[in-house]
Protein backbone atom coordinates (compact mmCIF):
# COMPACT_ATOMS: atom_id res chain seq x y z
CA UNK A 1 0.00 0.00 0.00
CA UNK A 2 2.75 2.44 0.99
CA UNK A 3 4.75 1.73 -2.17
CA UNK A 4 1.61 2.21 -4.26
CA UNK A 5 1.13 5.66 -2.70
CA UNK A 6 4.77 6.37 -3.47
CA UNK A 7 4.05 6.21 -7.22
CA UNK A 8 1.41 8.91 -6.96
CA UNK A 9 3.45 11.21 -4.74
CA UNK A 10 6.55 10.63 -6.87
CA UNK A 11 4.71 11.90 -9.96
CA UNK A 12 3.71 15.04 -8.09
CA UNK A 13 7.25 15.45 -6.75
CA UNK A 14 8.91 15.14 -10.15
CA UNK A 15 6.43 17.59 -11.67
CA UNK A 16 7.48 20.24 -9.16
CA UNK A 17 11.15 19.23 -9.25
CA UNK A 18 11.37 19.48 -13.04
CA UNK A 19 9.43 22.74 -13.11
CA UNK A 20 11.84 24.33 -10.64
CA UNK A 21 14.86 23.34 -12.73
CA UNK A 22 13.27 24.81 -15.86
CA UNK A 23 12.14 28.01 -14.13
CA UNK A 24 15.46 28.72 -12.42
CA UNK A 25 17.60 28.09 -15.50
CA UNK A 26 16.79 31.43 -17.22
CA UNK A 27 16.83 33.17 -13.82
CA UNK A 28 20.42 32.03 -13.38
CA UNK A 29 21.36 33.10 -16.89
CA UNK A 30 19.94 36.60 -16.37
CA UNK A 31 21.55 36.93 -12.94
CA UNK A 32 24.95 35.83 -14.20
CA UNK A 33 24.97 37.94 -17.37
CA UNK A 34 23.62 41.12 -15.77
CA UNK A 35 24.98 40.99 -12.22
CA UNK A 36 27.72 38.36 -12.13
CA UNK A 37 28.48 35.20 -10.20
CA UNK A 38 27.33 36.57 -6.84
CA UNK A 39 23.76 37.06 -8.08
CA UNK A 40 23.83 33.71 -9.87
CA UNK A 41 24.91 32.04 -6.63
CA UNK A 42 21.96 33.58 -4.78
CA UNK A 43 19.64 32.23 -7.46
CA UNK A 44 21.07 28.73 -7.06
CA UNK A 45 20.71 28.99 -3.28
CA UNK A 46 16.99 29.67 -3.60
CA UNK A 47 16.60 26.94 -6.20
CA UNK A 48 17.98 24.46 -3.68
CA UNK A 49 15.78 25.85 -0.92
CA UNK A 50 12.73 25.05 -3.04
CA UNK A 51 14.16 21.66 -4.04
CA UNK A 52 14.34 20.81 -0.33
CA UNK A 53 10.73 21.95 0.08
CA UNK A 54 9.81 19.65 -2.83
CA UNK A 55 11.17 16.69 -0.89
CA UNK A 56 8.68 17.66 1.79
CA UNK A 57 5.94 16.54 -0.60
CA UNK A 58 7.23 13.01 -0.01
CA UNK A 59 7.28 13.48 3.75
CA UNK A 60 11.09 13.74 3.66
CA UNK A 61 12.57 15.55 6.63
CA UNK A 62 16.12 16.91 6.72
CA UNK A 63 17.92 17.72 9.97
CA UNK A 64 21.12 19.73 9.50
CA UNK A 65 23.26 19.96 12.63
CA UNK A 66 26.23 22.34 12.64
CA UNK A 67 27.39 23.23 16.16
CA UNK A 68 30.66 24.72 14.90
CA UNK A 69 31.79 28.29 14.45
CA UNK A 70 34.50 28.68 11.84
CA UNK A 71 37.36 31.19 11.75
CA UNK A 72 36.89 33.85 9.10
CA UNK A 73 40.57 33.82 8.10
CA UNK A 74 40.69 30.14 7.09
CA UNK A 75 39.51 28.46 3.90
CA UNK A 76 37.00 25.68 4.57
CA UNK A 77 36.97 22.30 2.85
CA UNK A 78 33.82 20.33 3.67
CA UNK A 79 34.58 16.61 3.32
CA UNK A 80 31.47 14.47 3.09
CA UNK A 81 30.27 10.98 2.38
CA UNK A 82 27.94 10.76 -0.61
CA UNK A 83 24.80 8.61 -0.53
CA UNK A 84 22.62 10.11 -3.26
CA UNK A 85 22.09 13.09 -5.54
CA UNK A 86 19.75 14.43 -2.86
CA UNK A 87 22.78 15.20 -0.69
CA UNK A 88 23.48 18.29 -2.82
CA UNK A 89 20.50 20.65 -2.20
CA UNK A 90 20.79 20.71 1.61
CA UNK A 91 24.57 21.17 1.41
CA UNK A 92 24.19 24.13 -0.93
CA UNK A 93 21.39 25.71 1.12
CA UNK A 94 22.68 25.18 4.66
CA UNK A 95 26.30 25.96 3.79
CA UNK A 96 25.39 29.03 1.73
CA UNK A 97 27.09 31.50 4.15
CA UNK A 98 30.37 29.85 3.12
CA UNK A 99 29.73 29.98 -0.66
CA UNK A 100 30.28 26.23 -1.28
CA UNK A 101 31.76 25.16 -4.61
CA UNK A 102 31.92 21.61 -5.92
CA UNK A 103 34.27 19.32 -7.79
CA UNK A 104 32.09 17.38 -10.25
CA UNK A 105 32.53 15.07 -13.19
CA UNK A 106 32.38 16.76 -16.59
CA UNK A 107 29.36 14.72 -17.72
CA UNK A 108 27.19 16.79 -15.37
CA UNK A 109 28.15 19.99 -17.17
CA UNK A 110 25.55 19.54 -19.90
CA UNK A 111 22.01 18.33 -20.36
CA UNK A 112 20.54 19.20 -16.95
CA UNK A 113 18.55 22.45 -16.70
CA UNK A 114 19.84 24.76 -13.95
CA UNK A 115 22.24 22.14 -12.58
CA UNK A 116 24.61 22.02 -15.57
CA UNK A 117 24.59 25.81 -15.92
CA UNK A 118 25.49 26.25 -12.27
CA UNK A 119 28.32 23.73 -12.50
CA UNK A 120 29.76 25.55 -15.51
CA UNK A 121 29.23 29.16 -14.44
CA UNK A 122 28.96 29.08 -10.65
CA UNK A 123 32.64 28.78 -9.75
CA UNK A 124 32.70 24.98 -9.57
CA UNK A 125 35.11 22.74 -11.46
CA UNK A 126 34.27 19.96 -13.88
CA UNK A 127 36.88 17.24 -14.30
CA UNK A 128 37.39 14.37 -16.70
CA UNK A 129 38.16 11.38 -14.55
CA UNK A 130 39.85 9.71 -17.54
CA UNK A 131 42.28 12.63 -17.89
CA UNK A 132 44.31 12.76 -14.69
CA UNK A 133 46.71 15.43 -15.94
CA UNK A 134 43.91 17.70 -17.11
CA UNK A 135 41.98 17.11 -13.90
CA UNK A 136 45.01 18.03 -11.81
CA UNK A 137 45.43 21.29 -13.71
CA UNK A 138 41.72 22.10 -13.43
CA UNK A 139 41.63 21.50 -9.67
CA UNK A 140 44.71 23.69 -9.14
CA UNK A 141 43.07 26.53 -11.06
CA UNK A 142 39.86 25.94 -9.12
CA UNK A 143 41.76 26.28 -5.83
CA UNK A 144 43.18 29.62 -6.96
CA UNK A 145 39.65 30.89 -7.60
CA UNK A 146 38.48 29.60 -4.22
CA UNK A 147 41.29 31.45 -2.44
CA UNK A 148 40.77 34.63 -4.41
CA UNK A 149 37.01 34.79 -3.80
CA UNK A 150 36.76 33.51 -0.23
CA UNK A 151 34.69 30.48 -1.22
CA UNK A 152 34.62 27.07 0.42
CA UNK A 153 34.91 23.65 -1.19
CA UNK A 154 32.66 20.60 -0.87
CA UNK A 155 34.34 17.36 -1.85
CA UNK A 156 33.11 13.75 -1.84
CA UNK A 157 36.35 11.74 -1.59
CA UNK A 158 34.59 8.40 -2.08
CA UNK A 159 34.50 9.36 -5.76
CA UNK A 160 30.95 8.17 -6.34
CA UNK A 161 27.68 7.62 -4.51
CA UNK A 162 27.58 4.59 -2.25
CA UNK A 163 23.87 3.79 -2.89
CA UNK A 164 23.73 2.33 0.63
CA UNK A 165 25.02 3.33 4.03
CA UNK A 166 28.38 1.58 3.64
CA UNK A 167 31.10 4.18 2.93
CA UNK A 168 33.77 3.59 0.32
CA UNK A 169 37.48 4.25 0.95
CA UNK A 170 38.55 7.84 0.33
CA UNK A 171 40.38 8.71 -2.87
CA UNK A 172 43.00 11.08 -1.52
CA UNK A 173 44.38 12.72 -4.66
CA UNK A 174 41.89 15.58 -4.80
CA UNK A 175 42.22 16.37 -1.09
CA UNK A 176 46.01 16.39 -1.30
CA UNK A 177 45.94 18.83 -4.22
CA UNK A 178 43.60 21.11 -2.27
CA UNK A 179 45.87 21.03 0.79
CA UNK A 180 48.88 21.80 -1.39
CA UNK A 181 47.17 24.72 -3.10
CA UNK A 182 45.32 26.05 -0.02
CA UNK A 183 47.73 25.37 2.86
CA UNK A 184 45.61 27.25 5.42
CA UNK A 185 42.52 25.14 4.69
CA UNK A 186 40.51 23.72 7.57
CA UNK A 187 39.04 20.27 6.88
CA UNK A 188 35.44 19.92 8.03
CA UNK A 189 33.98 16.38 8.13
CA UNK A 190 30.30 15.96 7.23
CA UNK A 191 28.27 12.81 7.86
CA UNK A 192 25.13 12.19 5.80
CA UNK A 193 22.74 9.50 6.98
CA UNK A 194 19.69 8.02 5.27
CA UNK A 195 19.70 9.89 1.94
CA UNK A 196 20.50 6.60 0.18
CA UNK A 197 17.00 5.44 1.13
CA UNK A 198 15.51 8.03 -1.25
CA UNK A 199 16.91 6.07 -4.20
CA UNK A 200 16.50 2.52 -2.91
CA UNK A 201 13.93 1.96 -5.69
CA UNK A 202 16.17 3.55 -8.37
CA UNK A 203 14.53 7.02 -8.33
CA UNK A 204 11.01 5.83 -9.14
CA UNK A 205 9.01 5.58 -7.10
CA UNK A 206 10.44 7.77 -4.37
CA UNK A 207 9.86 6.37 -0.86
CA UNK A 208 7.79 8.31 1.63
CA UNK A 209 8.71 9.62 5.07
CA UNK A 210 12.50 9.39 4.92
CA UNK A 211 14.39 11.27 7.64
CA UNK A 212 17.82 12.51 6.56
CA UNK A 213 20.40 13.58 9.11
CA UNK A 214 23.40 15.71 8.17
CA UNK A 215 25.99 16.39 10.86
CA UNK A 216 28.90 18.79 10.57
CA UNK A 217 31.64 17.39 12.81
CA UNK A 218 34.56 19.03 14.59
CA UNK A 219 37.02 20.49 12.04
CA UNK A 220 40.46 18.95 11.55
CA UNK A 221 43.34 21.42 11.41
CA UNK A 222 46.06 19.99 9.12
CA UNK A 223 48.73 22.21 10.66
CA UNK A 224 51.40 20.06 12.29
CA UNK A 225 50.09 16.91 10.59
CA UNK A 226 51.15 15.13 7.46
CA UNK A 227 48.57 15.15 4.68
CA UNK A 228 47.82 11.48 5.23
CA UNK A 229 47.41 11.97 8.98
CA UNK A 230 44.97 14.85 8.42
CA UNK A 231 42.97 12.89 5.86
CA UNK A 232 42.97 9.82 8.12
CA UNK A 233 41.36 11.89 10.89
CA UNK A 234 38.73 13.31 8.57
CA UNK A 235 37.93 9.91 7.07
CA UNK A 236 37.58 8.37 10.54
CA UNK A 237 35.30 11.21 11.65
CA UNK A 238 33.07 10.83 8.60
CA UNK A 239 32.85 7.05 8.79
CA UNK A 240 32.22 6.99 12.55
CA UNK A 241 29.24 9.27 12.01
CA UNK A 242 27.52 7.05 9.46
CA UNK A 243 24.95 4.95 11.25
CA UNK A 244 22.07 4.37 8.88
Tens of pLDDT, residues 4-16: 899 999 999 999 9
Strand order in the sheet with 186-193: 61-65, 211-216, 186-193, 76-80, 152-155, 100-105, 125-127
Query: Above 70 in pLDDT, residue 66?
Result: yes
pLDDT at 1: 62
pTM check: above 0.85: yes
Average pLDDT estimate for 145-157: 96
* DSSP per-residue letters across 98-146: G-EEEEEEGGGGSSSTTHHHHHHHSS-EEE-TT-HHHHHHHHHHHHHHH
- The answer for residues whose C-beta is within 8 angstroms of residue 14's C-beta and 6 or more apart is 204
Domains of the chain: 2-240 (3.40.1130)
Nearest to 99 by CA among 119, 82, 120, 76: 76
Q: What is the mean pLDDT of residues 185-209?
A: 95
Please list, in sequence order, all residues whose beta carbon lies within 8 angstroms of the beta carbon of residue 227, skipping any fewer than 6 positions away. 172, 175, 176, 179
- Give the separation between CA 122 and CA 140, rounded to whole angstroms: 17
∠ CA 202-206-210, nearest 5°, is 115
Residues 242 and 193 sit within 8 Å (Cβ to Cβ): yes
Q: Is the pLDDT of residue 133 over 90?
A: no
Q: Which residues pair with 211 in a beta bridge?
A: 61
Distance (Å, whole) CA 120 – CA 210: 31
Dist. CA 6–CA 145, nearest whole Å:
43
pLDDT band at 165 (very low <50, low <70, confident <90, very high): confident
What is the average per-residue pLDDT within 166-193? 93
Radius of gyration over every alpha carbon of the chain, rounded to an integer in angstroms: 18
Residue 167 has pLDDT above 90, yes or no: no
The answer, yes or no, to whether residue 244 has pLDDT greater than 80, is no
Where b means 16+ CB within 10 Å and e means fewer, 46-85 reads ebbbbbbebbebbebebebeeeeebeeeebbbbbbbbbbe
pLDDT band at 99 (very low <50, low <70, confident <90, very high): very high
Confidence of residue 171 (pLDDT cuts 50, 70, 90): confident
**DSSP element (H, E) containing 175:** helix 173-181
Would you say residue 21 has pLDDT above 90?
yes
CA distance 107 to 116: 9
pLDDT digit string, tens, across residues 41-63: 999 999 999 999 999 999 999 99
- Tell me what the pLDDT averaged over the chain comes to: 94
SS3 of residue 200 by DSSP:
coil
Rounded distance between C-alpha atoms, residue 65 and residue 53, angstroms? 18
Amino acid sequence: MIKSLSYLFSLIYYLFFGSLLVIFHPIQVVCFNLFGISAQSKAINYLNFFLIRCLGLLGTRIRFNNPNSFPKDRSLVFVSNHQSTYDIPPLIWFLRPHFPKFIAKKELGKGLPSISYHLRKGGNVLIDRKDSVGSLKAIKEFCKNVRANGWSIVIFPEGTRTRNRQPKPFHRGGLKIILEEIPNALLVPICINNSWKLVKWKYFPMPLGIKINIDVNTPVDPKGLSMDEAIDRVETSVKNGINS
